[in-house]
Amino acid sequence: MYTHHKIKVERTAHYYTIGEANKEVTRLVIACHGQGQRSEFFIRRFDVLDDGKTLVIAPEALSRYYLKNFGGEVGASWMTSAERQDEIADYANYLQQLLDEYLPLLNENVTITLFGFSQGGATIFRWAMEKFPTVDRFILFASMMPEDLDYRPHLDYFNTKKLIWIYGTSDQFLTEKRLAFNRQIFEKNNLNFEERTFDGKHEVKREVLSELFAD
pLDDT band at 5 (very low <50, low <70, confident <90, very high): very high
Specify the pLDDT at position 81: 84
Query: The whole model's pTM is what?
Result: 0.95
pLDDT in tens, 118-133: 999 999 999 999 999 9
Does pLDDT of 77 surpass 90? Answer: yes
Choice among 1-5, 113-117, 134-138 with the minimum mean pLDDT: 1-5
Query: How far apart are alpha carbons 146 and 182 in whole angstroms?
Result: 9
pLDDT in tens, 23-34: 999 999 999 999
Q: In Å, how far are 17, 82, 92, 99, 203 from 32, measured between CA atoms?
A: 12, 21, 12, 13, 13
Alpha helices in 46-141, H assignment, sequence order: 84-102, 119-131
**Total residues belonging to the chain:** 215
Specify the pLDDT at position 37: 95
The rounded mean pLDDT for the chain is 96
Query: How far apart are alpha carbons 116 and 96 in whole angstroms?
Result: 15
Specify the pLDDT at position 164: 98
Taking a C-beta distance cutoff of 8 angstroms, is the pair 99, 114 a contact? no
pLDDT band at 104 (very low <50, low <70, confident <90, very high): very high
pLDDT band at 172 (very low <50, low <70, confident <90, very high): very high
What average pLDDT does the segment 173-202 reach?
97
CATH superfamily of 17-212: Alpha/Beta hydrolase fold, catalytic domain (3.40.50.1820)
pLDDT in tens, 21-66: 999 999 999 999 999 999 999 999 999 999 999 999 999 999 998 9
Specify the pLDDT at position 68: 87
Domain ranges of the chain: 17-212
